[in-house]
Structure 1
Amino acid sequence: MRLRRSLAVTTALVAGATLALAGCGSSTPETPGGAATDAATDAPTGGATDSFPITVTSALGETTIEEEPVRVATWGWGSTEAAVALGVFPVAVAEQRWTVGEGNLLPWVEEAFDAAGAEHPALLTDDGTGATVPYEEFVAAEPDLILAPYSGLTQEQFDLLSEIAPVVAYQDGPWTTTWDDVITISAEALGRTAAGEEVLAGISDFLAEARAAHPEFEGKTFAGVWDGDGVMSVYTAADARAAILVELGLQIAPSVGELDSSDGGFYFDLSYEKIDALTADFLIMYGPSEEEVTASLAKPELQAIPAIAAGQVVKVYDPVTVSSVSPPTALSFQWEGGMPSLIESIAALLAE
Structure 2
Amino acid sequence: MSWLRRKFKAVKPNVNTSGMGKVTVSVVVCIVVVFSVVGVYWSSEPDPFDVVATAKEKAAAQGYLNNSKQLVVGYTTASTLHTIVQTLLDKPGGFITNDIMPPGLLMDNMPAWEFGVLVQSRDLARAFRKEFSRSQSQSTEDVNLKIAEPQFNFDTKSWALPSSESEYRRGNKELMGYLNRLAGETSNTSKAQFYARADNLSDWLSDVSTRLGSLSQRLSASVIDESAQQAETDENNRYVRTPWSKIDDVFYEARGTSWALVHILRAVEVDFFFTLQDKNALVSLRQIIRELEATQASIWSPMILNGSGFGLLANHSLVMASYVSRANTAIIDLRRLLEQG
Higher helix share: 2
TM-score for both structures, normalised by structure 2? 0.26
Higher relative contact order, structure no. (Cα contacts within 8 Å, ≥ 6 residues apart): 2
Larger radius of gyration: 2
TM-score of the superposed pair, with normalisation by structure 1: 0.26
